Chain A
Amino acid sequence: MLSILRTLWGVFLHMFRSRETIQYPEQNILDPPRFRGRIILSLDPDGQERCVACYLCSAACPVDCIALQAAQDVNGRRYPEFFRINFSRCILCGFCEEACPTYAIQLTNDFEFSEYDRNNMVYEKEDLLISGPGKHPDYNFFRVAGVAVGVKGKGESENELPPVDVRSLLP
């Protein structure tokens, strides 16, 4: 009986505590740095598309919401001819970001992208591309690895030795 009264008093005292609720539209919600929100495509520091249309994000996507078509420019650099994410399917799991070898596809903190028309949830490449490098400001895939596609010459990438002249390798 006494414990019941103590419980009642304890609950009553909660009246004077501060509230846990975040009044969302007026008050901003917490903004954790690793939040998984709306997906974007980023550019490398030289201002070119990072995406090399390897299809890894599309393959990793558990709900198959990413569609793209690879193409090559005159230098032989691969890029997506179209890149389409259906956000009405997307579950914001972030697997595509983990799969991406070039840091092109990234998840942002934005989650406020409701639409009245379902078709508006399908984002095309123009909608996805942003004008900067996103979370990895200094990274350029082609300066570290990959084939020469007009970005660098042979043997000029970081941590790469100059090419060996096989004809001079005489005993």
Chain B
Amino acid sequence: MNEILLHIIIALVVLIGAMSVSASLIWLERRLLGVWQDRYGPNRVGPFGLFQVMADMIKIFFKEDWIPPFADKPVFVLAPAIIVAATLIPYAVIPFSPGIVVANLNIGLLFFLAMASLSVYGIVLGGWSSRSKYPLLGSLRATAQLLSYEVFMGLSLMGVVMMAGSFSLEAIVEAQRGLWFCIPQFAGFVIFFIAGLAETHRLPFDLPEAESELISGFHTEYSGLKFGMFFVGEYLGVTFTSLMIATLFFGGWQGPLLPPIVWLPGKTLVFICLFILIRAALPRPRYDQLMSFAWKILLPLSLLNLLATAGVLLILRK
């Protein structure tokens, strides 16, 4: 009984934590973008503008939630829910500190990859059910982009899996006790980071919603709370990708002095800030450049990395 209660509490804390962190990323991102562009960002509402999150929430709650008459209504309503659900569920497999994990799956990594593929449906259906041209173009791009980047997102993680000898995230974190995987698997880390950027369709890989060409891509027709769900889904994705990078390549909750529950969020925050820095600095590539970069450079690189890791492991084992 007590164990069940503990699990429920952990699950609730992770859910609420993930939602509130990704909501406050709205503030963090605007503030950091301001800092990197020599301005202040939102600093009026509350201390350091922290209540800006609340103000944004209230605003988006009271916006008219309008469904265009030409849209495919049930799918249109379902799409943002799919995005949020598909990015929220994999939080369950992350070990936040020893013993604190919602579901210790022995195939946690595969589960994460499967859920990452599912979130494509949210975007595709959102664009398709809008029945207007820019959302459709946006979701077309999103489909191609997410599918091609997913290929080597999985492949880049296989080096980690080989070194840890397990798909379970707890085992992977344990295997990094001596040396974080970001050093032997540096190529894997870089490729996973780029793929993570593309998977969350953040700048510079935000072609599905490129404002300057597609208005706002697949969520052009969305308003009010449904738009807010796409928005929160994006930040959930950013948080989750940063969590995964910290877990898989930077030793998860491991670190000296401070308790584990501080280390993982700290490392995650660094990568979230890196995501925002990349958004502040880099321009968007052309679409064909994006695709050829994925298939001609990153896919061979991740295969090479896989091969090299396997070879080194084989030699070491003999």
Contact = CB atoms under 8 A, between A and B. Distances in A.
Contact of B36 (A4, A14, A18, A20): A14
B277 A12 contact: yes
B278 interface: yes
Contacts of B39: 19-21
Nearest to A8: B281
Interface in B30-55: 35-40
Q: With a 10 A CB-CB cut-off, give which of A10, A11, A23 has the most chain B CB atoms.
A: A11
Contact of B280 (A4, A11, A18, A21): A11
Given A14-B35, A15-B35, A7 B40 contact: no
Main DSSP-derived SS at the B contact region: helix
Contacts of A23: 40
B278 to A, nearest CB: 7
Interface residues of B, number: 11
B40 A11 contact: no
B40 A19 contact: yes
Chain A's interface size range is 10 to 19
A7 B40 CA distance: 21
A2 B2 CA distance: 54
Contacts of B36: 11-12, 14-15
B277 to A, nearest CB: 6
A166 B36 CA distance: 80
B207 to A, nearest CB: 17
A167 interface: no
Nearest to A4: B282
A4 B280 CA distance: 12
A45 to B, nearest CB: 46
A20 B40 CA distance: 8
Interface in B166-181: none
Interface in B88-123: none
A164 to B, nearest CB: 69
Contacts of A19: 38-40
Contacts of B277: 8, 11-12
A14 B282 contact: no
A65 B296 CA distance: 64
